Amino acid sequence: MLVACMVDLHNVGTFNVDTGFKAGYLYELEKMLEKVLPHVMLKAKPNLESMIRTLKSDWAIVYDMLSGKNNSGFGWDEHRQLVVAEDVSHKEADQFKHRNFPYYDQLIAIYAKDRATGKDAQIAVDIIEEIDVEDAATTNTHEERNDF
């Protein structure tokens, strides 16, 4: 129910930011869960905060395995909702080889913008080189205009 309420809150958009939710969303989730599960008495802090931290941490591990740099040998079994891994040593992968993670797809919608995959990552030397190339192109354009 927590993940369902998180998805509903995300779809409404009132508390959305690029990296998840705005401050105060926990109290809104608390109200939503109270309506759906009366008498459960989950409080925003520490109950929901702790549960969401664990969910996000688990999701990030799976997401990084599947979408990150060194993702060779990892896959996602959509039917069983778990990580499929070859005999690869990955300390965090072990817990998800035999345990399903049914909320992965829902959490992608909420947190995927928060994770860098390294796909277009550059080191400082690359960035400086790119700036130098752009500066040279701009200088050449100005010189050509001056010739006319």
What's the pLDDT tens digit per position in 12-42? 888 877 667 878 888 888 898 889 888 888 8
Is 128 part of any domain? no
Is 62 part of any domain? yes
Query: What's the confidence (pLDDT) of residue 106?
Result: 87
Q: Which long-range contacts (CB under 8 A, 24 or more apart) does 36-41 make?
A: 36/1, 36/5, 37/1
In the chain, the number of structural domains is 1
Query: What's the confidence (pLDDT) of residue 123?
Result: 47
Rounded to an integer, what distance in angstroms lies between the CA atom of residue 65 and that of residue 59? 10
Query: What's the confidence (pLDDT) of residue 148?
Result: 52
Q: Report the helix count and the strand count for the chain, using DSSP H and E.
A: 6, 4
Where in the sequence is the domain holding 63, given as residue range(s)? Answer: 1-120
CB 55 within 8 A of CB 69: no
Query: What's the confidence (pLDDT) of residue 116?
Result: 55
Is 140 part of any domain? no
What are the CA-CA distances from residue 147 to residues 134, 138, 144 (Å)? 20, 15, 5
pLDDT confidence band for 146 (50 / 70 / 90) = low
Is 133 part of any domain? no
Alpha carbons within 13 A on the beta-carbon side of 31: 6
| Burial class of residue 65 (count of CB atoms within 10 Å of its CB; 0-12, 13-18, 19+) | buried
Cα 137-121-85 angle, rounded to 5 deg: 150
Is 68 part of any domain? yes
